[in-house]
Amino acid sequence: MKIKKILVVIAIFTLVFPLYNNILGSTIDDLNKQLKNIQTQKQKAKSDLADVDEQIQQDMYELTDLKTDVEEYSIKLQIVKSKVDAVNEKIEEYEDALQNSSQKYNSAEELYKTRLRAIYENGIPSIIEILLSSKGISDFFAKMNVYTSILEYDKSLVGNIQGQKEYIDFVKKDMEVQKLQLEQLKYDVEKSTKALEDARVAQEKKLEELQSSKSKLEALTQELASQEKEASNAIAEEVKKMANVDASFEGQFTWPVPGFNIITARYGVSYSPFGNVSTHTGTDIAGAGIFGTPILAIESGTVVKAQYGNTGYGNHIIIDHGTSTVDGNNYKSLYGHAVTLNVSQGQKVNRGDVIAYVGSTGYSTGPHLHLEIYKNGVRDDALKYYPDMKLIHNY
């Protein structure tokens, strides 16, 4: 991957130039922070995207189960409705049969009552009357049998129809109970079906929201990948700029603060300015009235860093002087604790140009210029480059 290659290049550059963490231009520092922030956001977006994908899969399984349940309950509801319809049809049949039985019962009962009324009004014929009206013994028994059979038949008919009516009424009532039970079952199934359907709709809505989130995360991931590429390219460009400074010096630097030659701390000396012993990384130049004195570029070059801020160096400048035509080495210089800066990053400066003014910003014990010189990326003793300079050492 290109990004990894760029990061590897940056890592190698860091190994080759130990001053990287301390003096690289603020642009590169800022770009590296941006790149790290972008990569963190990109990693989080990928993680969130994976979580959303997993949730979508899980919800799709749940939605499938809900759809199956809805289908099953829909079928069950249709079956229950069919049973209710069948029971209603049966009840109608029994109501018709009961109506018919009632009519038959009423007809038979009316006939029986009419016959009894006639007997009551005319009197019950005695055996003597039947005997006298008979033509013979055979006719007598025949008439007796007919008369008795008619009365028994009428009575039996009424009884049978009454029994049939009671049976139909019993069955009808039983069917009514079954109907109520089926109606309750139908209500329960309808309620369950609606609940499942509502759950299915909610699940589908949730899936739509997750799909929307997934699309946004995918777009964010692509955007962050684009930003990551841009930041990496910007870092590469800054590194390239610093590696291709076209200035060159001839082996002799000019003094950065003319008229001031008191050295209050030199390179490599251990001292304790704030209670903690540390090794000094440069040369401190001071003197009475030095505050606000112009700081000169010790050699021509390109300003690779011009930063305001409450860092250890305070407001400071770094200039890349390019490769020496004398010894072939690359040189850079750092000017720390300035009160104000007179140049900006990327600006070309000439030897002796005013680049800043002496101050006491950052970790400083008083107004002075903190000067560092780097040879091929490694700090070197600045005083080595001023062998003829008359200096007063006060440390």
Domains along the chain? 1-244 (1.10.287), 262-393 (2.70.70.10)
- Return the DSSP state at 366: S
How many helices (H) and strands (E) the chain has is answered by: 5, 13
Averaged pLDDT, 292-307: 94
Where residue 168 falls among pLDDT bands split at 50, 70, 90?
A: low
Q: What pLDDT score does 66 carry?
A: 79
> CA–CA separation, 314 vs 84, rounded Å?
91
**H helix or E strand, kind and range, residue 234:** helix 137-243
Identify the CA nearest to 336 among candidates 373, 377, 299, 371.
Answer: 371
Reported as a pLDDT band with limits 50, 70 and 90, residue 296 is very high
Question: pLDDT confidence of 284, banded at 50, 70, 90?
Answer: very high
Determine the Cα–Cα distance for residues 235 and 6; give it in Å rounded to an integer: 9
Strand partners, 296: 354
Q: How much is the pTM? A: 0.42
pLDDT for 317 equals 95
Q: In this structure, are residues 301 and 246 in contact, taking their beta carbons and an 8 Å threshold?
A: no
In this predicted model, what pLDDT tens digit does every residue of 212-270 receive, in sequence order?
888 888 888 888 888 888 887 876 676 565 555 555 566 679 999 999 999 999 898 76
Question: What's the Cα-to-Cα distance from 163 to each of 133, 136, 154, rounded to whole Å?
Answer: 38, 40, 14
